[in-house]
Amino acid sequence: MKKLCYSTPMHDTVVQVGEPVLREKAREVPLASIPSKEIQDILARMVAVLEGERDGAALAAPQIGVPLRIFILAERVFGKTGSDTKNAGQKNMVFINPTIIKRSKKKGTLEEGCLSVRGKCGSITRSLNVTVEAYNEKGEKFSRGAGGLLAQAFQHECDHLDGTLFIDKAKEVWKIE
């Protein structure tokens, strides 16, 4: 997900809409394989790509061409929300096999963009608060509740893992320069 609704120069490493991998239902990561070099390398690649995107808030594995249920959240995002100050010093957060286990009935319409949909922005209705259960990069299970931008990011990234993009759900989509 993009943090703000403005365009960035083309970046080679983020897969763009039109590529089939963005439309696949991503596969679960076998828990025993989380410590493996293969998975750790994928995580490192995701971190590198996300850190190269100045307006990137989060990135899902299909966005680097890997159809696995993983997303990462940039440190700069969760470090900024008031309720998340205890994690402000933490590095990028890793979510493996995430599921949204709770979502608020209360919804809001928010502006959203995506690193895989360059040059477009949209308005989308999402739950204002959600709780995600996932495994971290060490294979430890955790759950994390969030509101605001974080809740929006969780929903956006979980959608990616089911092959859904914000342009499928947006009430309105517009071009940005």
Binding to Zn ion by CB under 5 A, coded x per residue (else -) over 100-119, reads: --------------x-----
> Which residues, 6+ apart, have CB-to-CB distance to 70 below 8 Å?
26, 29, 39, 42, 43, 46, 60, 61, 94, 95, 96, 97
Task: Rank residues 1 and 149 by Cβ distance to Zn ion and give the closer one.
Answer: 1
Asked if 77 interacts with Zn ion (CB under 5 A), we say no
Query: Choosing from 75, 157, 172, 177, which is the catalytic residue?
Result: 157
CA atoms 158, 51, 15, 139: torsion sign:
negative
Known catalytic residue: 111? no
Q: Between 13 and 33, whose beta carbon lies closer to Zn ion?
A: 13
**Cβ closest to Zn ion, residue 11 vs residue 139:** 11
How is residue 51 written in tokens? 């850190």
- What is residue 83's three-state secondary structure? helix
Q: Under the rule (CB under 5 A), what is the footprint of Zn ion?
A: 1, 114
Catalytic residues: 157
